Amino acid sequence: MKGFTLVELMVVILIIAILAAASIPLLRGSVDSAKWSEGKATMGTIATALRIYMAIEREDFEPVPTLEKLGVAPWILDGTYFKGGDSSVSDFSWVITGYDPIEYVITAKALAGVKSPSEITLNASGKWSITP
């Protein structure tokens, strides 16, 4: 009679369990990265709206303009994972700190269940900062 012994089957099951246990954290990181990609895209939309707002308002800008003043409908910032809305009311916050040169900071806080990073920041020069 040909076949596998119980020991051989148990070894194969053990190897599969070890591989599965090792891959779950890697997959979790990929899911978090995909969620942050959506957040970064939304931050890019906010950055564009801020630059247009500053070009129109010049020195008469409000430090924390509403989405209405930015010409953005709140639902445009809604995604699968991140919720849009005015600064600090949504998953995003922004503040304009200067006109000449244009300076602003946009921040997104981590979603529930996302381990790392805790927040990501985008400034007017296009630099991303990550807070672990």
pLDDT in tens, the chain (132 residues): 688 899 999 999 999 999 988 888 777 778 888 889 999 999 999 999 999 999 999 889 999 999 999 999 988 999 999 998 999 889 999 999 998 899 999 999 998 878 789 999 999 999 999 998
Contacts of 130 (CB under 8 A, 6+ apart): 117, 119, 120, 121
pLDDT given for residue 15 in this prediction: 93
Q: What percent of the chain has pLDDT over 90?
A: 61
Q: Is the pTM of this model over 0.75?
A: yes
pLDDT given for residue 1 in this prediction: 64
d(CA 98, CA 61) in angstroms, rounded, equals: 9
Asked if residue 94 lies in contact with residue 18, where contact means CB atoms within 8 angstroms, the answer is: no
Strands of the sheet with 92-98, listed across from one edge: 92-98, 103-109, 119-123, 128-131
Q: Which two tokens stand for residue 124?
A: 């007017």
pLDDT given for residue 111 in this prediction: 86
d(CA 120, CA 36) in angstroms, rounded, equals: 9
Residue 107 DSSP SS3: strand
Of 104, 80, 103, 102, nearest to 91 by C-alpha is: 80
